[in-house]
Amino acid sequence: MVPGDDQIRALVNALSITREHEIDCSECLDMVAEFAERELSNRPIPDALETVRHHLTRCGECREEYEALFTTLKRMQEQEESEGRPD
Amino acid sequence: MNTAGFEWQKRLAPDSPDRESALRELRLFMLKGVRAGLFRRPGTDDDFLEDVVQSAMIRVLDHLDRFEGRSAFTTWAIAIALRVAFTELRRKHWNNVSLDELREKGAFPRSEAASGSDPHEAAARHSLITLLHRIIRKELSPHQRDMLLAELNGMPHDEIAAQMGLTRNAVYKLGHDARRALRRALEAAGYGIEEVRNVLERQEG
What would the pLDDT profile of A53-87 be if each residue is shown by its tens digit? 999 999 999 999 999 999 999 999 998 888 875 54
Chain B residues inside the 8 Å CB shell of A11: 132, 148, 152, 182
Is pLDDT above 50 for B16? yes
**Helix pair angle (B168-188, B193-204), 10° resolution:** 80
What amino acid is encoded at B88 in this protein? E
Q: What percent of chain B has pLDDT over 90?
A: 63
- Scanning B1-30 for CB atoms below 8 A from A yields none
Q: Tally C-beta pairs within 8 A across A and B.
A: 132
Q: What is the pLDDT of residues B78-137, one digit of tens each?
A: 999 999 999 999 988 887 778 887 777 655 445 555 555 677 888 888 888 889 889 999
- Scanning A3-42 for CB atoms below 8 A from B yields 3-5, 7-12, 14-16, 18, 20, 22, 24-26, 29-34, 36-37
pLDDT at A10: 87
What are the residue ranges spanned by the domains of chain A? 21-84
Query: What are the structural domains of chain B?
Result: 3-94 (1.10.1740.10), 101-204 (no CATH)
Q: What is the DSSP string of chain A?
A: ----HHHHHHHHHHHHT--SS---HHHHHHHHHHHHHHHHTT----HHHHHHHHHHHH-HHHHHHHHHHHHHHHHHHHHHHHHHS--
Torsion of the alpha carbons at B46, B51, B53 and B58, rounded to the nearest 10: 170
